[in-house]
Amino acid sequence: MKLQYITLIISAIALLVFTGCQESTNPVDTGTTTEGITVLNNSVEIDGDLATAQVTECSLETNAFIPGDQTIFEKCRFNGKGMNEKCPRNGSTKNHPMLGKVMSELQLTEAQIELVKEFDTTHHDCIETTMQTWRDAVQPIMDTANAHKKLIMDDLKNNLITRQEAKEKLKAVNIEMRAEMDALGIKDTIKAAIDACNKTLLDSIKGILTADQLVVWLKYFPE
């Protein structure tokens, strides 16, 4: 009986070792368990219309400002079923599958994962650089709007206007601010640059895939 028990333990250990060896050479499941691969959940196609719309207007509580890049990445996140509910829906916005969806099916190797993580960082930097160009261009316009807002808030504080009148004046300030931003004529340039960032990311990932992985990739990103 004791001999059978020892034999059973030895068999179990051998099975574990064999399984471990298999897992060390097989492609990695890039779903949610692989360390580091979760960075891909932020590798999404950022929509140019949404990115240039990321301007918080003047209100009674806040000045006009543009949120940081992480906010843009979080709010413009897509999934396999189409756009995330946080993304605005309009006739000109396309539905993009989230990269995390296809990544979970590609069965990437460790080497491929490291490359994709590099592509992901490059993509994020590309978006950041593009958005900084947008911020730099519109900052003077926002500064002017915020200066007008201060005058309105001073009048409200001194009881020269009512709260409702202040809101109406701020609405006019925001309309003028948006018009001046549109008049810069750089929105299309920013959108094109964002499209280029996205294309580089997708082309880079596609370029390291095997023939079998490419079949899976083309289901989500057909040519």
Predicted pLDDT at 184: 93
Q: Tell me the mean pLDDT per 10 residues along the chain, length 223.
A: 44 42 40 39 61 83 78 48 40 46 84 89 88 91 95 95 95 94 92 89 93 91 80
pLDDT given for residue 182 in this prediction: 92
Note the pLDDT of residue 44: 52
Distance CA 174, CA 56 (A): 10
Q: Which two tokens stand for residue 150?
A: 């201060």
In the chain, where the domains are located: 29-220
Q: For residue 98, what pLDDT is reported? A: 58
The distance from CA 209 to its chain's CA centroid, rounded to whole angstroms, is 23
pLDDT score at 104: 78
